[in-house]
Amino acid sequence: MPSRTLEDRVEDLVKLAATLTEQVGNLQKELKSISIDGSALGRGMADLRTNVALLERQSSEWKYIKDQLEVLATLKITIALIEQNVDELRKTKEEWSRRAWALAGPILGAVVGVLLGYFLRR
């Protein structure tokens, strides 16, 4: 093979420099797109932080609501017990009323009998 001349070597270097220049240009475009994606990523992270903060707030609100519902459940049980006690008191009152009238009837009859007897003997 014949030895290469300086001109051939210069041409190869020019081609190599053009290829490298093109590759550097492509790399610069890639870096710009990555930096643009990085800013979009920053906005996405900010949105994510906002959403996490909202979720934490909603979670605390749900915990508060859950606690209130537990209080309401306790109140519901208490009301049911009070209603049961009121029903028992009402039944007791009705029983005592029935017993009083059961006792008052014969006593009233005896009093009327005594009065009739007294007035009829006169």
Q: Tens of pLDDT along 63-122?
A: 999 999 999 999 999 999 999 999 999 999 999 999 988 888 889 898 999 998 888 887
Cα separations in angstroms, 63 against 8, 53, 112: 80, 15, 72
Tokens, residue 107: 């006593």
Domain that holds residue 4: 1-89
Backbone angles phi, psi at 2, to 5 degrees: -75, 150
Instruction: Share the mean pLDDT of the chain.
Output: 89
- Residue 70 to residue 76: CA distance in whole angstroms: 10
The model's pTM: 0.44
In a domain, residue 122? The reply is no
Give CA–CA dist 31/29, Å, rounded: 5
To which residue do tokens 């009402």 refer? 90
Q: For residue 113, is it within any domain?
A: no
> What is the total count of domains within the chain?
1
Identify whether 2 is part of a domain: yes
Residue 94 domain-assigned (yes or no): no
Does any domain span residue 99? no
Mean pLDDT of 8-29: 90
In a domain, residue 112? The reply is: no
**DSSP state at residue 42:** H
Half-sphere CA count of 35, side-chain side, radius 13 A: 5
- Give me 119's structure tokens: 């007035």
User: Does residue 121 lie within any of the structural domains?
Assistant: no
